A = this chain, B = another copy of it.
Amino acid sequence: MIIVLKNDDQTTIAELQQHFGNTNDVFVHNNRVAVQGITAADLSDSERVAAVELIDSVPKAVQGSREFHPEDTVIKTKHSIIGGDNFTMMAGPCSVESEEHVMKMAAVAKANGSTILRGGAYKPRTSPYSFQGLGEDGLKFLRKAADQYNMDVLTEVMDDEHVKLVAKYTDIFQIGARNMQNFSLLKAVGKTNIPVMLKRGMSATVDDILNASEYIAAGGNHNIMIAERGIRTFDNKYTRNTLDVGVVPVLQKLTHYPVIIDPSHASGHTEFVTPLALAGVAAGASGLVVEIHDDPAHALSDGPQALKPNEFKELSDKAFAIRELLTEMPQEQAEAGR
């Protein structure tokens, strides 16, 4: 149950915490107090009187919910603002391949509106015999390239033991799709104050995503964004996964975290990346994360889905144009959608 109080009612907040804090999970956000496992009947008379509104049914992932936190989460890093009315472009190579290469890709990313440089130093490859990433060297090259171009770093952390190490170099943690329910890892990044991009697992339901995000929030880290990167369906002959573009408005209704689209993994083939990216923007995503490479045929991983610089330019130009167009048009739907 969520008890909505007057904005300045610190007294009742304190009372509720004292009343329920020992036996139940209690969360406070501004004038909203969520107490799990109670009903209106459990409230004292004074608590009931103080309530402006009582919201009965609350999802388990309460801290991530709109009911508890109605306004959008806006994440601020050194060079980027993610969420709310902002639109954020993130790009870079799948794997960091060398200092020189990631530097070159950073230049391309920045020139086309990206403020965040993505790149993998630790790679969760399906086979143990595939290239596993450059490790800490990769992180160093990534950091250097980002600094050179005044960008933030986004890179994957694959296990709780690496959180400390990766934290030294990155501005945003990426949790990969295969680790979306690696709860030890979620808890570990939840204890940091570094923003987290949580990628949806290949067969994760919307509720699964929200519950996974709650593992991070439960540790005190609320700088979370959620990335849709395609799901597993019965057909993967022509695209690697199926982009579930509908999850953008669905998540925006249910949670306050920014929703990002990864068109590269969803598509798996260069030629479909841009249409998927634009679909995500038109559906209202807060940003895109795109794989780019100047020589996809020789990329160390995921070459077939990496856009060349000129292709990325087109994607970026169109993405920003659609976003701008939609921002300027009247927003009837917003009422219904929330």
Bound complex: CA of A208 vs CA of B235, how far in Å? 10
Bound complex: CA of A249 vs CA of B280, how far in Å? 14
Q: Does A283 contact B (CB under 8 A)?
A: yes
Closest residue on chain B to residue A274 by CB atoms: B333
Q: Does A233 contact B (CB under 8 A)?
A: yes
Q: Does A271 contact B (CB under 8 A)?
A: yes
Q: Does A182 contact B (CB under 8 A)?
A: yes
Closest residue on chain B to residue A219 by CB atoms: B128
Residue in A214, A234, A280 whose Cβ sees the most chain B Cβ within 10 Å: A234
Bound complex: CA of A254 vs CA of B218, how far in Å? 41
Q: Does A39 contact B (CB under 8 A)?
A: no
9-residue interface stretch from A82-90, A108-116, A143-151, A153-161: A153-161
Cβ of A237 and Cβ of B333 under 8 Å apart? Answer: no
Cβ of B311 and Cβ of A321 under 8 Å apart? Answer: no
Q: Does A139 contact B (CB under 8 A)?
A: no
Q: Does A172 contact B (CB under 8 A)?
A: no
Cβ of A203 and Cβ of B238 under 8 Å apart? Answer: no
Cβ of A244 and Cβ of B250 under 8 Å apart? Answer: no
Contact for A271 among B158, B233, B336, CB less than 8 A: B336
A283 CB → nearest B CB, Å: 4
Cβ of B185 and Cβ of A159 under 8 Å apart? Answer: yes
| Per-residue contact bits, chain A 309-329, to B (CB 8 Å; 1 contact, 0 not) | 011011001100110011001
Bound complex: CA of A242 vs CA of B278, how far in Å? 17
Q: Does A206 contact B (CB under 8 A)?
A: yes
Chain B residue contacts of A127, Cβ below 8 A: 60-61, 211, 214
Other than the given A239-B246, A282-B322, 9 more pairs (CB < 8 A) read: A36-B129, A60-B130, A124-B181, A128-B211, A203-B231, A232-B234, A234-B236, A270-B336, A279-B283
| A residues neighboring B (CB under 8 Å) | 25, 36, 60-61, 124-130, 158-162, 178-179, 181-185, 187, 201-203, 205-208, 211, 214-215, 218, 231-239, 242-246, 248-250, 253-254, 266-267, 270-272, 274-276, 278-284, 310-311, 313-314, 317-318, 321-322, 325-326, 329-333, 336-337
